[in-house]
Structure 1
Amino acid sequence: MQYIAALDVGTTTVRCFVLNENCEIKGSSTQLVELLNPKPGYFEIEPEALWGKIVAVIEDAVKVAQIRPDQLSCFGISSQRSTFLTWNHLTQEYYHNFITWKDLRADFMVDEWNGSYTLKALNSFSYALYLLTRSSRFLAGSVLKMMNGQVTLRLLHEIQQNHRLKEGIKLNKARIELLDSWILYKLRSGNGKEPNVEHISDITSCTATGLFDPFTLNWSPIIKRIFGIETTLLPKFVNNVYKSLGFLHPGCFTSLDWQNTHIPITSSISDQTAAIFGNQCFSKDDVKITMGTGAFLNLITGTSCQASLKGMYPLVAWQFKKQTVYCVEGAAHDIGTIISWGKQCGLYTDPTETSTIAESVKDSDGVFFIPAFSGLGAPLNDHKAASGFIGIKPSTNRCHLVRALLESIVFRLVLLCETAEQETKRQIKVLRVDGGVSRNGFICQFLANATGKQVERPQCSESSIMGVCFAAGVNYGLWKTLSEITKFRKIDRLFEPCVEEYEVNRKLLNKWLEAVDRFRNWY
């Protein structure tokens, strides 16, 4: 029997699972990520604390699986995107903590740049080139906007404000690490024991940073020309079948059982690509929606890189050798956050109760919730929007508030679905959902009713883990092709849309959009 270890480093948890060649989970270990909030809007992770958790979950998962480390055939990694740090890797001096994708420290810079003559000139010039060439790349450039979720302005903020980082760059001692490149460095070098390992990052992590041009498949020239950021600071990007990811260095681990092991790292992919693989969205027009801390909709567009005019963005879904497969992505950043907030406010004691609570009333009694703790993404595109309830009356009770909360999540997902269809001119038939929030039956059924589409939920909610396992196993040679792993997907439930409910929910969506207008441009 062969075994695969799959590491998933997310925003809220670090997890490692050990699976056998039949994709059966034999052991797992999870630790919570401590998200630091040193100032309002700042969201950081202390790197060495995170490293300790990574090592611990790998060792613990192998113990729980009751196998020896040397029985692992291969190892795969999935990590959150657009989280980065800068450091001197030779001395392991960090210039700052990990700055996560949720961080808002550069919010004022986003406003400044989006209103700047520089960006407006770039948009106009790109549109002129689009009229001449009809190139999707220039169409994308014509609507380019800065976003907090991109690495670009958060990195520029640190370069401008962090004096140690400035000095490190001046002395050619600093380099930029995306979360995946840092994990790879630590695991391959034995936590710095062999510091000269290759500085690399997976292309599916790079593509989401805002620093990467998916049309040319290279770091964007804008980085240097407009922002003054040297691309030499960034890791080398590699494809998803890169053969030189190296091995787990035994020096990373505390247990003597790991000494003299030679376990190959055969895959490192972003969390959303892992979820795409886990949901087996391997064909053009396949769609998955991951509902975790945030919600991410990805629609596979095949070998064409699709420009978007309404706030969605083109990404590399995966790259095998010379074949690049693209997707368009739309995000709603406050899905899991809203569920946690509702518990914190006392609306319920356990998030698993919310489905039953919402179904206990026939509607929300005219109450609507606007989920905008991080603003509103595509297609509303208002990062100054506020969150809140509207329509509360004397007849409103706790159940109505909970239902309004869950309905708001679905309304955001409906907008993402419709935008993806409009932008790609494709018809979505089935929505494959995963992530913790997808276990909520009310949300899944309401999503089916509101979109008029089937919603498919897998038995295993660990889609990112399964995706890492699939990618690592294929690269190792356990399976020859992606088609061989389709047998491992098992459906928990297929939510069918109710035709009668569709029109009712369309009216509700339009009313919710009226409520959204009251909360726009608040800050």
Structure 2
Amino acid sequence: MITYERPSARPVLAVDQGTSGTKALVVCPERGVIGSGTAEVRPRHLPGGLVEVDPAELLTSVVDAGRRALAEAGEPVAAVGLANQGETVLAWDPDSGRPLTTALVWQDRRAASLCAELAEHAEELRHLTGLPLDPYFAAPKMAWIRRHLTRRGVVTTSDAWLVHRLTGAFVTDAATAGRTQLLDLDDVTWSPRALELYGLTEERLPRVVDAAGPVGTTTAFGPEIPLTGLLVDQQAALLAQRVTEPGSAKCTYGTGAFLLAQTGGRPRRGDSGLVSCVAWRLGGKTDYCLDGQVYTAASAVRWLTDLGVIGGGEDIDPVGGAVPDAGGVTFVPALAGLAAPWWRGDLRGSLTGLGLDTGAGHVVRALCEGIAAQVASLADAVAADLGGPLTSLRVDGGLTRSTLLMQSQADLLQLPVEVSALPDATALGVAALARIGLDPALPVAEAAPAWRPAATYEPRIGPDEAAARLAGFRSAVAALMERTPS
């Protein structure tokens, strides 16, 4: 009897194009990761909250990381999947593919004045798109580019440009489209009203597609292979963490920290300051999630490193662990502003409670508690919007290697924190989508990687002490907001 191998049983190439670098994996359903490659990206942080990157650097990093992963694997792949940054935008020529501007990174704040002009429409936009009015999202940056840089070509999120350069297609997945503030949250199509408000009515926008399915083929990595998986990075990690049921949540600790909670087949527009957005669309069916953001996590660690306080992320535990507590120091790491649930991107960070006895360890501990306190505030907002508390939090990302940060997180959440054994959840999530794109009958539960915690952190302090620490952090945030009226 002749047996036929399902296309989804073969290895796939998964590429995670992130803020500070690109990671590529060759993933085999049976053997796991059989090849990996990385390539650095260096965004430029400029005065006034400007953050930009050369688009060519993004494309080169994708190709280089992918080729390195394939070289290490030493065998062909059936398809490729691509995860992207979400809110990073640029203008480009659709005929030649040539960039017409730099890429404005998701952290960039230059469109703040444009958002101020639209303030009277903030609630209308939030209801239409699920997103608050903030320059973090793509549409304000797109409109700013049109107003200040160029009217030529098209202006899109970075994924549409990368996909076009790889395959010639002009598409974006539904979840990435949902990060623009131009997508109607209910029917998952471009909103004429949102486009009108942003002055983008005449724009040529990419076709909105499912997260899994054939998009085109590429020879960028060598032999021709189909591109069959597309998703914004945090939602890809959500899928890899198997957070597929309403009420479950994950947090990814990367350049920023991003907490997402599943809400199922309908959007939940809460009142707690969270984003309601598309988790993914598969087979024409949309799942939704609540999303909360911390703008600076690993980027705050990098800031301390640049100042010489620590030598790098590997110093968090030895330096912070050298002291028993933060010594009365409170760090609000709003180095790129505060996102959910406050939405005060104009704020700057604060470091208070300093004394002559303050050392590097106190500052490091205060940073860990500051990041953890923001994530705890997001978890509280999720619980309020869903009408019930979370029972645990699944976490991934580079900073989960810090025992100090993860224990601080469990303490302030008063919940178990389950650290994923998957070190590259975003890439593994988009690998699962690439497999589904090859084989639409493949269930998500079968395509997603097996999930297990590498470590589980239980709270070591009581609820009263946790509440007191959170109250101290929130008092520091309130003081910041009082000093900087919106």
TM over 0.5: yes
- State how far apart, in whole Å, the 2-side matches of 1:139 and 1:94 are: 30
Q: CA RMSD in A?
A: 2.2
Picking from 317, 326, 347, the partner of 1:385 is 347
Matched, 1:246 2:226: no
Q: Which has the higher helix share?
A: 1
Question: What residue number does 1:263 align with?
Answer: 225
- Show structure 2 runs of 5+ residues with no match: 1-8
What pairs up with 1:349-428 in 2 under 5 angstroms? 349-428=311-390
Q: Secondary structure at the match of 1:443?
A: helix
CA deviation after TM superposition for structure 1 residue 391, in Å: 0.8
2:121 to 98, 119, 122: 119
Q: Please say if 1:282 is aligned against 2:269.
A: no
1:106 corresponds in structure 2 to 111
Q: Do the aligned partners of residues 510 and 208 (structure 1) sit closer, same or farther apart at CA in structure 2, a change above 3 Å counting?
A: same
Match of 2:90 among 78, 85, 90: 85
Structure 1 segments unaligned to the other structure (5+ residues): 127-137, 169-173, 190-197
| One-letter amino acid of the counterpart of residue 245, structure 2 | S
Q: TM-score, normalised by structure 2?
A: 0.92
Matches within 5 A, 1:26-425: 26-37=34-45, 40-67=48-75, 71-114=76-119, 118-119=120-121, 123=123, 140=127, 145-162=132-149, 165-166=150-151, 168=152, 174-189=153-168, 198-230=169-201, 232-242=203-213, 244-248=214-218, 250=219, 252=220, 258=222, 261-425=223-387
Corresponding position of 1:129: none
Contact 1:21 1:478 in 2 (8 A): no
Q: How many residues align?
A: 476
Over alpha carbons, which structure has the higher Rg? 1
**Residue 502 (structure 1) aligned with residue 473 (structure 2):** no
Q: In the TM superposition, what is the alpha-carbon distance from 1:288 to its structure 2 partner?
A: 0.6
Distance 1:469 1:144 in 2: 28
Q: Summarize the Cα distance change of 1:220–1:10 in structure 2 as closer, same or farther, 3 Å threshold.
A: same
In 1: Cα distance, 2:267 partner to 2:459 partner? 31
Q: Which amino acid in the other structure matches residue 158 of structure 2?
A: L
3-state secondary structure, aligned to 2:334: coil
Q: Tell me, yes or no, if the aligned pair for 2:97 and 2:165 is still in contact at 8 Å.
A: no
CA contact (8 A) 1:140 1:309 kept: no
Shift of 1:143: 9.6
CA contact (8 A) 2:429 2:448 kept: no
- By how many angstroms is 1:38 displaced? 5.6
Q: Tell me, yes or no, if the aligned pair for 1:384 and 1:522 is still in contact at 8 Å.
A: no
CA distance in 1 between partners of 2:466 and 2:308 (Å): 27
Instruction: Assess if the C-alpha contact under 8 Å between 1:140 and 1:308 holds in 2.
Output: no
Rounded Cα–Cα distance in structure 1 between residues aligned with 2:376 and 2:202: 38
- Is contact 1:339–1:351 with CA below 8 Å preserved after alignment? yes
CA contact (8 A) 2:320 2:360 kept: no
Q: CA deviation at 1:180?
A: 1.4
Q: For 2:216 and 2:99, locate their aligned partners in 1 and report how far apart those are by CA, in whole Å.
A: 24
- The 3-state SS of whatever aligns with 1:14 is strand
Q: Which amino acid in the other structure matches residue 50 of structure 1?
A: L
Q: Deviation per CA, 1:324-375, whole angstroms, max 9, x where unpaired?
A: 1100101010111111111112221131221233233222111101111121
Distance in 2 (CA, whole Å) between partners of 1:311 and 1:47 is 32
CA distance in 2, matches of 1:156, 1:505: 43
Note if contact 2:278-2:289 (Cα within 8 Å) is conserved in structure 1: yes
Does structure 1 retain, via aligned residues, the 8 Å contact 2:272–2:381?
yes
Residue 23 of structure 1 and its aligned partner are, at CA, apart by 5.3
Task: Output the CA distance in 2 between the equivalents of 1:45 and 1:143.
Answer: 27
Whole-angstrom distance in 1 between the partners of 2:217 and 2:166? 8
TM-score (norm 1): 0.86
Letter of the 2:470 counterpart: L
Deviation, structure 1 residue 388: 2.0
Residue 514 of structure 1 corresponds to 475
Deviations 1:214-242 (A, max 9, x none): 12311122333322212642111011233
Q: Once superposed, which parts of structure 1, at least 4 consecutive aligned residues long, lie more than 6 Å away?
A: none
Q: Percent identity?
A: 23
Tell me: CA distance 1:502–1:446, structure 2 relative to 1, closer, same or farther (3 Å). Answer: farther
3-state secondary structure, aligned to 1:269:
strand
Query: What displacement does 1:466 show?
Result: 1.0
Specify whether residues 23 and 450 from structure 1 end up closer, same or farther in structure 2 by C-alpha distance, changes over 3 A only.
farther
Q: Which moved more, 1:296-305 or 1:144-153?
A: 144-153
Partner of 1:171: none
